[in-house]
Structures are given as C-alpha cells and as structure tokens.
Structure 1
C-alpha cells in the first residue's frame, strides 16, 4: 500500500520547505570531502535536497512513490549546475543499496522516519555509510498533531469527513514506536545530538487545503465526490481565524543527528 498515492503534485506545491537554519546545521554536522555525498531518504519532491544543494555536490534521492520522483526531477534538475551530480532511485529505504563504492557523508530522513522499518533501515545503512558519516532524522509537527487552534479546527473538519481515526491512505495510521532517539542509540549510529529549530509560517486558506491534500490522512481520493464540500467546510472553519486573509503558524523542527561513536567514545 502506498499511502501517498495521488498526493505528489500537492506535496511539491504546498509542503513547507526546509529552513535555512536546518540546512546550515546539517552542513556543519556532516564530514567534508570531495565529492561530498548526500543521500536523501523519502525525498518526496526533493525539498531536502533542494535546501542542501549549496553544501553537497553528489546527490542521491530515493522514494517509494514514482509520482514523487517525477516531482523531484522537475524541481531539482533546473536548480543544478555542472558541479552537481543527481541520481534518483525508486526503492524502499530498507532495500536501497547505492552503487558499489558510493558512501554518503550525510543521510537525511526528513518527515519520513515514522514510515520506515527503522531498525532494518539503520542496519542496512550501516553497510554503506561513510565511516564518519552522519544520519539526520528531522520533522516538524504535522497539522494532525499541531496544537494551534486553527489547525485543530482544520483537523476536526477532516475527522468530520473521514472519521476520528487518523488515516494513512486507504488504511489506518499505526501508533508510533519507541522515541526516535532511542532507536538511533540502539543502532550503529549511537552518538546522538538533538536540536530544536523554531519556525513561523503564514498560510492562506487555499494553501491549507493544498497542504491537506499532500498528506496521507487527507489525500484527495479519500473524499471521493465530496471534495468541493470538504474545501467549503475547511474555508468556513478557518475564516474566523484569519487576520487579513492570513493564518499564522508557530511550529518547531526536532533534528536528531547521529553517527558512529569514535574509538575513544566506544571505550
């Protein structure tokens, strides 16, 4: 089951990008080399790769949804110059193997780690990561989990149309497992650092609708012939929260960077 089927065009247009502060943090965390290699897992339309283009020149983007890779191609190719090399691969993160000898210095999992078989993925990653390489796991709060009043109102509209339980495409969303930091500490990448990056965003109601259609819990096909009714209901629910047509969101990214411990740390 692909929980993001039919969402890729909305994902590219309406999902917020990665803040510059996170791109700088990841640049500083990862080892330097030439060529400097980035592997982005669950790349979607390439938002993470796009943010990291100033810092990496040999880029691999992996996603399990072909439509996402089409959007990534359209977003990233025009932004590349002759110093960049980009490869896109249709694969599950847990099954992916790069070409022989290709070792990433940074592996990014942005807004995707909860979808993975995490121990299996990290075991596979340990087979090909550069010795000093860093894996970064990061996400902000989705509209489903946000505590802002207008976002709660939008979630209630989704629940009115699709039911109280959070959807994941045509199925139900599974509860989270152990904290990500614990999962990383139990892997080969047990030296973990946590950073919180605050972000403020402004939305129009039409952008909120587009964002909802980019999610697994409100994918367009889930509404069938009720899409117009859904969009009208979201508009009605959010209008009173707007200030001159704008909705303000305060959110945070939690960024975990993990690497193998050094010999000194391992003793």
Structure 2
C-alpha cells in the first residue's frame, strides 16, 4: 500500500521535482550497499521475533532490497520518500523479493513521517531498525531522530550511512570532472537549481550525541568500484550537483565534454573509485526507551 496520495504539504516543489526526474536513472546508476555493510544491518535484525524496518529516504528501495536478498527475516518494511516516482521504482524492485514480508510505501518527508498505525495489542510493533542511506543530509536531523525515538521498539537501532560522492572523491579523474562541472556551473557546489550546498552546522555524530540515540559505534567498509565513462554520466544525472536541469540547454555540451574527459582518464575503458562506506549504528543507552 502507499499513503498518502497527493503532494506533501510544505515540501518545496523543487525538491520533489529533483527526485522525480532522477528516479529511473537513479535505479540504474546509483551504487548499492557493500555486502559487509548489509551483513552488519542484517545481524542487527536477527534474533528478533518479527523484525520491522523503517527506511527513511528510501529512494529506489536499495536498503530493504539488500536486506531481503540477504535473508534478514524481515516481516514488515515501511519505506518513506518524498518522491512518488522513487516509490514506484522501489515497489518494482521490492515486490518480487518480498516473500511473506509486507510493504508499506509512504509518500512523506521524513521530518513529518508518522506511522499509519500500531498493531492492536502489540505496543512494541514499531521498527527494530531505522535506516538512512545517503539521505540524512536532506532532513532535519534532530526532528527525525526524536521521531525515531517515539516510534521505535525498545531495543531498536538507528543506522546513518553513506560513502560521499564523486564530487568529494579524491582521484585524478574525479578532480578533473569536478573542475569541469565548476566551469559550467560555478565554483560553489550546487544543491539543486536554486541553491548551493551548505555544510551541516554540526556533524551526524553530534546530532546523535544530543539525541536519545547516543550509544554510537562506527563501522567502515572499503569499497572498490569500477565505473565506465557512460555510467559516470548516468550517475551525474541523478545528483543535486550535476543533474541535467542545472545545465539547461548546455547539458549536452557538458556531457560531450565530460565523456571525452573521462575517456582520457580511463584505463582499458574503466575508472576506479576507492571509497569508504561508513555506518553510524546508534542505540539508546542501556536499551532504554
């Protein structure tokens, strides 16, 4: 099921449009989660009688898809996103692998999310794991963490995770690519059509320390990715710093120049990204609610 229908009150139309335009391309070109990271999340869920996942900013459903594929034993998934187009992609990906697990797709901003209902007679039927994969930076962190404390089961965990982007990666080819983007769009990193990226006022760790989820461990997983020049262009179309709408009529010119640049840096047609996928796994101290 999906709820609610219609636009989200108070959500900037630009943000919803950004994700809507990128949904199908996102499903094709965004890298998934490393197996070791999926294993860590699956271990958090194992042992519970009926594990429930709340995935905030689910996008195309990468986190629930990975956990279902890893046999994490999920019984229910609540997948939340601001874009109905992203949720459509998530439904297409998840439906074939659900098995006996139920799925609710929630068209909402994470900051405003509330569960549809608690199961009658089961006060602890909320999520056992709440995940943010490459999505927390879009949200009002303290508000979302307070909501997570309100809805989660007593022994639940929160996982904030990600691995940066090709904008921040430090290889020669990504430096050259970033310089080309800046040549077209200006020196500041863009965050959609109308604004520039601003560093968060405090770190994710500081947000967690100030919340109910102050028992935090950090796990890092090295990831080696092989890109083709064409796949890099596909990935860029999904980003807030180099999406096609930012270039307007100059987008084709940018892609032509970017393809030539990437091909010049490729070795045997491949570009290597050595990244680190990090998970901040947080619980309430002592398992208290």
TM-score by length of 1: 0.94
Matched, 1:133 2:151: no
Taking the aligned partners of 1:14 and 1:34, their CA distance within structure 2 comes to: 35
Note the C-alpha offset of 1:5. Answer: 4.1
Note the C-alpha offset of 1:98. Answer: 1.1
1:154 alignment partner in structure 2: 177
Taking the aligned partners of 2:244 and 2:90, their CA distance within structure 1 comes to: 20
Equivalent pair of 1:30/1:134 in contact (CA under 8 Å): no
Note the C-alpha offset of 1:163. Answer: 1.3
Equivalent pair of 1:6/1:221 in contact (CA under 8 Å): no
Taking the aligned partners of 2:97 and 2:254, their CA distance within structure 1 comes to: 36
Taking the aligned partners of 2:137 and 2:148, their CA distance within structure 1 comes to: 16
Taking the aligned partners of 1:154 and 1:79, their CA distance within structure 2 comes to: 37
Taking the aligned partners of 2:25 and 2:187, their CA distance within structure 1 comes to: 23
Count of aligned positions: 264
- Residues 157-168 of structure 1: pairs in structure 2 closer than 5 A: 157-168=180-191
Taking the aligned partners of 1:165 and 1:67, their CA distance within structure 2 comes to: 29
- Which consecutive aligned stretches of 4+ in structure 1 deviate over 4 angstroms post-superposition? none
Taking the aligned partners of 1:251 and 1:236, their CA distance within structure 2 comes to: 24
2:108 alignment partner in structure 1: 91
Taking the aligned partners of 1:169 and 1:163, their CA distance within structure 2 comes to: 13
2:59 to 38, 44, 51: 44
Matched, 1:67 2:85: yes
Taking the aligned partners of 2:189 and 2:19, their CA distance within structure 1 comes to: 14
1:231 to 233, 255, 263: 255
SS at match of 2:91: helix
Structure 2 residue ranges without an equivalent (≥5): 1-11, 119-124
- Alignment deviations for residues 10-65 of structure 1 (CA, whole Å, 9 cap, x no partner): 11110001111111111223463232100100000111111111212311100012
SS at match of 1:146: coil
Deviation larger for 146-155 or 11-20: 146-155
RMSD: 1.6
SS at match of 1:62: strand
- Alignment deviations for residues 165-198 of structure 1 (CA, whole Å, 9 cap, x no partner): 1111112212222121121011001100001110
Note the C-alpha offset of 1:80. Answer: 2.2
Which gives a bigger RCO, structure 1 or 2 (Cα 8 Å, sep 6+)?
A: 1
Deviation larger for 39-48 or 144-153: 144-153
Structure 1 residue ranges without an equivalent (≥5): none
